Homo-oligomer: A and B are copies of this chain.
Amino acid sequence: MTGAYRKIVEVLEGKTVSPPPVWLMRQAGRYLPEYRETRAAAGSFLDLCYTPDLAVEVTLQPIRRYGFDAAILFSDILVIPDALHRNVRFVQGEGPQMDPIDVAGIQGLKSEGVIAHLAPVMETVRRLRRELPEETTLLGFCGAPWTVATYMIAGHGTPDQAPARLFAYRHPEAFEKLLSLLAEISAEYLVAQIDAGADAVQIFDSWAGVLGEKEFEAYAVKPVARMIEIIRRQRPQAKIIAFAKGAGLNLKSYRQKTGADAIGLDWSVPLSFAVELQKDGPVQGNLDPMRVVAGGKSLEDGIDAILDKLGNGPLIFNLGHGITPEANPDHVRQLIERVRGANA
């Protein structure tokens, strides 16, 4: 909109930027003392997400400290079920919980009012775009329909989302209805984030890895493709990153089938395969977050391997999953310096 040069937008347009721009999934998080302070002063976790003053503050904290090339809106993928009145709550030490949904519950879901419920998120995005440095890309995001659905079905996190897999086998029509509804709502939500000032958006399919071949097509590819179709129909220039964690071989055709500009890679994706994927377009990833906890040589070696294999093509340097609370903030600084020192 402003014509500012934003490196991550350049990469999303297919250009190679050297050294590659860098941000970290969950960069506004518990590894930062300033985050823990703001979090402690807020009420519930959802209060933090829905209070623009606080959400803006925690989003900006890692930008102030490190000057990442992107800020990602502070929010959660479960604001969608929250907006759908699923009684979402974040219980300390237990992870997110909500009322599990059944077939009748799916029939009764209404998409009206969802975007209005999420108005504070869009206000956060608007303020962020004003407060961020010109050169910083602002990323919006949401969960992919499959991943959001896994929580809605189980009512909480599980090791391999068996409840949602089972539900989909037992009630395929109701399950597809749920995914369709989530795809439409989520697409509108991302359009609203783009309109509020997000330069690009990321779709998180954190549980794509537990699906069989046909189910990956039906539940991971199809709803994300539908989302991107809806977004592009309204905002043809929208820049979209799709991150299907654990998708492995299914990543081969994921970009082409979904229409995403860039694909996110988790740390288990072999770099030799990542090189193949990069021939078709930009990739984002994929350092093991444990290397940021460990620091030292394992951090350096992990960074160097990614830069060596992927640094000569369109790359957004990132972790392969969210940074963990145990990560040392000094290691994050070392990471950025090493990435930025590359080819400089």
Q: Which residues does chain B contribute within 8 Å of A210, judged by CB atoms? A: 268
Q: How far is the CB of A327 from chain B (nearest CB, A)?
A: 10
Q: Which of A56-64, A140-148, A291-299 contacts B (4 or more CB under 8 A)?
A: A291-299
Mark A285-311 against chain B: 1 for CB-CB distance below 8 A, else 0. Answer: 000111101101010001001000000
CB pair A169–B290 under 8 Å, yes or no, is yes
- Knowing A248-B248, A298-B170, the reply to whether A213 touches B290 (Cβ < 8 A) is no
From known contacts A288-B212, A305-B214, infer whether A170 and B270 are also in contact, taking CB-CB under 8 Å.
Answer: no
Which residues of chain A from 169 to 210 have any CB-CB distance to chain B below 8 Å in the complex? 169-170, 172, 209-210
Partner of A166, one of B248, B268, B294: B294
Instruction: Flag A249-288 by CB within 8 Å of B: 1 or 0 each.
Output: 1100000000000000001111111000000000000001
Q: How many copies does the complex hold?
A: 2
Given A212-B268, A246-B246, A290-B169, residue A162 in contact with residue B298 (CB < 8 A):
no
Query: Which single residue of chain B is at the shortest CB-CB distance from A159?
Result: B159
Chain B residue with minimal CB distance to A213?
A: B270
Is there contact, CB below 8 Å, between A324 and B162? yes
Whether A290 and B209, one on each chain, are in contact in the complex, defined by CB atoms closer than 8 angstroms, is: no
Which chain B residues border A291 with CB–CB below 8 Å? 169
Residues in B neighbouring A302, C-beta threshold 8 A: 212
Q: Which residues of B contact A213 (CB under 8 A)?
A: 269-272
Q: Is the CB of A162 within 8 A of B268?
A: no
**Chain B contacts for A226, CB-based, 8 A:** none
Which residues in chain A, 300-329, are within 8 Å of chain B measured between CB atoms?
302, 305, 320-321, 324
**Set of chain B residues within 8 Å of A159, measured between Cβ atoms:** 159
Residues of the B chain whose Cβ atoms lie less than 8 Å from the Cβ of A160: 321
A76 CB to nearest B CB, Å: 18
| Choice from B165, B288, B296 contacting A165 with Cβ under 8 Å | B288
Partner of A250, one of B166, B209, B270, B290: B270
Q: In the assembled complex, how far is the CB of residue A308 from the closest CB belonging to chain B, in whole angstroms? A: 12
Known: A169-B288, A210-B268. 18 other contacts (CB 8 A): A159-B159, A162-B290, A166-B293, A166-B294, A169-B290, A170-B294, A170-B296, A170-B298, A172-B298, A211-B268, A212-B267, A212-B302, A212-B320, A213-B272, A216-B270, A246-B246, A248-B268, A249-B249
